[in-house]
Amino acid sequence: MKLASLIGIEAVAFLLIIGETYLFFMAIIPLGPVPHSLAVYTAITLLKVGLTFGLGILWLAVMVSLTRLYVRSRLRTRTPTPSS
Amino acid sequence: MQPDLAEAGLILLSFIIPLLLVILAMPRSIRYLTRSGRVVDDVHKQPPTKVPFPVGPLLFLGALAGEIFVYIAFGSLVPLAVIGGAAIAFAIGLADDLFVLGGKTKPLLLLFAAVPLVVSGVFQKNLYESNLTFPLLGHIGEHFTIYILLVLVAFPVVANAFNMMDSFNGQISGFTLLTSLALLFGVVLHAIADSSFSLARVASVLPLVAIAAGFFVFNRYPSKAFDGDSGALMLGAMFASLAITGGVEIAAMIAIVPAILNSFYTLSSARGFVERRRMAARPTHLGEDGKMYPSLEPSSPNTLIRLILLSGPLDERDLVKSIFILTAVACLLSGAISVLTWVH
């Protein structure tokens, strides 16, 4: 089936979206003790922002890698076009 | 929650009114647009045919009629919040149809489409819950500030994702129909599971399903009408509002995964928000045999369409069928998420 690989990519995107959204709300947002000083508060906030970006970058990295793999494998077997 | 006979009738009417309005008024709208010279080339035909454009205003009228009916019938602010966001997205899309807005202007302006929903939440406290419900795991805690920020971001993201799915005959109408049915399924399960969940939230989804179904009749291959950005952005904004008011954000997000992937591919390969008319290279081209081929230009955007075509050239009808298969798979996953979330 021609679409099987794309459906696979779709399924990975689905699992990552669910998993990362859960991690964001359950692990990153409640992170750390109640801050007692501005320095601790700033550090925790920066850590949360960093971890959130990390989740975003993880999603992008996985998607880009899967897409590159897909494009490479398809280009290897692609037939030439009549107008190019 | 089980509706009585009168409520069931009202729910049915909130589907039938917008459906009939779109189906009955569309031929007249098409004739008017053709007479006044508002037609564009259907560039995926050999030779290109002329198609009336934009019928977004008629789709908006259908949505407006349906949501106002739901407001009158159920007295909730939900349909007003939904149509308010849709109206702003529609106005931005219409401005783009008539004058062409910049690639970055549209997403920024679309932030305003979230305002009616956020403001309505002040007047009706239970309009949406500022938390998410996960499959098997249930509610997470309240995170009001983060949730409102996500609501603000959701509108430009979802509306643009819908707009980027508007390239081929029947693509946007079929995509909206499938995803809105998945959304409806989630909202119905939520209503059954939660006795305090108002029927207005279920009824508010039906105008979206109705206008997508009515439009599909005229937009499917070979298209007799194009919606324009005014239609696509409005459909996306309605979808976002309904996912939030229905409390089915996660299932809704999963249903539109093909559109999210398509936006991601386009944005990452075009390196940011670039108006599609100004892209350096097209992702696909039409061969002399009438089939679509992936572009071999290194600078061409890596859209979902290009990825599909890398498996082999397809005519427009089969290409759209492939997109529908990917969307249907995402909608099935969304349905599974809804069952795991609301059926215990």
Secondary structure (DSSP) of B268-309? HHHTS---GGG-SS-SEEE-TTS-EEE---TTS---HHHHHH
> Which domain does A18 fall in, by range?
4-77
What is the CA B337 to chain-centroid distance, rounded? 20
Tell whether the model's pLDDT for residue A82 goes beyond 70: no
Whether A78 sits inside 8 A of B310 (CB atoms) is yes
Is B282 a member of any domain?
no
HSE of A66, CA atoms in CB hemisphere, 13 A: 19
Neighbours of B99 (CB within 10 A): 7
Q: How many CB pairs under 8 A join A and B?
A: 91
Name the token pair of A15.
Answer: 């699992």
Summarize pLDDT for B109-148 with one digit per residue, the tens. 999 999 999 999 888 888 888 778 888 777 777 778 888 8
Mean pLDDT of B164-168: 92
B8-66 pLDDT, tens digit each: 999 999 999 999 999 999 999 999 999 999 999 998 888 888 999 999 999 999 999 99
Interface with chain A: mutation pick from B140, B149, B250, B320, highest number of A CBs within 10 Å: B140
Asked if residue A22 is part of any domain, the answer here is: yes
pTM, two decimals, is 0.91
**Mean pLDDT of all residues in B160-165:** 94
Q: What does the pLDDT read at residue B60?
A: 97
- Give CA–CA dist B12/B203, Å, rounded: 8
A12 occurs within a structural domain: yes
Q: How many domains does chain B have?
A: 1
* Whole-number pLDDT of residue B128: 85
Nearest CA in chain A to B325: A3
Q: What is the mean pLDDT of residues B233-259?
A: 95
A64 contacts chain B (CB < 8 A): yes
Which of the four pLDDT bands, split at 50, 70 and 90, describes residue A30? confident
List the structure tokens of B297: 């230009």
Span A46-64, average pLDDT: 91
Say if B215 falls within a structural domain. Answer: yes
> Does the residue B19 lie in any domain?
yes
What mean pLDDT do residues A34-43 have? 80
Output the six-digit token pair for B168: 């081929």
> Sign of the CA dihedral B326, B330, B331, B335?
positive
* Cβ within 8 Å, pair A3-B322: yes
Cα distance from N-terminal residue to C-terminal residue, chain B:
15
B331 located within any domain:
yes
HSE-CB for A48 with a 13 A CA cutoff: 17
Which residues sit opposite B286 in a β-bridge?
B292
pLDDT confidence tier of residue A68, bands split at 50, 70 and 90: confident
Residues 234..263 of B with a Cβ closer than 8 Å to A: which? 250, 253-254, 257-258, 260-261
Domain limits for position B249: 5-275+316-342
Helix or strand (DSSP H, E) at B177: helix B171-193
Answer whether residue B333 is part of any domain: yes
Residue A84's pLDDT is: 43
Give me Rg for the CA atoms of chain B: 20
pLDDT of residue B272: 59
Strand partners, B52: B39
**Dist CA B209 CA B65 (whole Å):** 13
Examine residue A69 and state whether it is found in any structural domain, yes or no: yes
Query: What's the average model confidence in pLDDT over A50-78?
Result: 87
Separation between Cα atoms, residue A52 and residue B81, nearest integer Å = 30
Number of domains composing chain A: 1
In a domain, A71, yes or no: yes
Checking if the pLDDT of B211 tops 60, the result is yes
Q: Is residue B169 a contact partner of residue B320, using CB atoms and an 8 Å limit?
A: yes
Instruction: List CB contacts (< 8 A) between B258 and chain A.
Output: 10
Position A15 in a domain:
yes
Question: Does residue A1 have a pLDDT over 90?
Answer: no
Residue B284 lies in a domain: no
Q: A4 vs A42, which has greater pLDDT?
A: A4
User: Could you tell me if residue A83 is inside a domain?
Assistant: no
> Tell me, what's the pLDDT at B302?
77
Instruction: Using the Cα atoms of residue B249, residue B255, residue B256 and residue B258 in order, give the sign of their dihedral.
Output: positive
Long-range contacts of B215-219 (CB under 8 A, 24+ apart): B215/B22, B215/B26, B215/B55, B215/B59, B215/B173, B215/B176, B216/B170, B216/B173, B216/B174, B216/B177, B217/B23, B217/B26, B218/B26, B218/B30, B218/B55, B219/B169, B219/B170, B219/B172, B219/B173, B219/B174
> What percent of chain B lies above the pLDDT cut of 70?
94
A57 — contact with chain B (CB < 8 Å)?
no
Q: Which pLDDT score is estimated for B277?
A: 54
Q: What is the pLDDT of residue B138?
A: 77
Number of Cα atoms under 13 Å in the Cβ half of residue A37: 3
Q: What are the helix (H) ranges across B77-143?
A: 78-99, 105-110, 115-123
Q: Residue A53 domain-assigned?
A: yes
Q: Do residue A10 and residue B293 have CB atoms under 8 angstroms apart?
A: no
In a domain, B310, yes or no: no
B167 CA: distance to closest CA in chain A (Å): 19
Q: How confident is the model over B265-312, as pLDDT tens digits?
A: 888 776 655 555 555 567 788 888 889 998 776 666 778 898 999 888
- Contact predicate B205/B246, CB 8 Å: yes
Q: Check whether A64 has a pLDDT greater than 80.
A: yes
**Residue A45 domain-assigned?**
yes
Least Cα distance to B338 among B207, B182, B128 occurs for B182
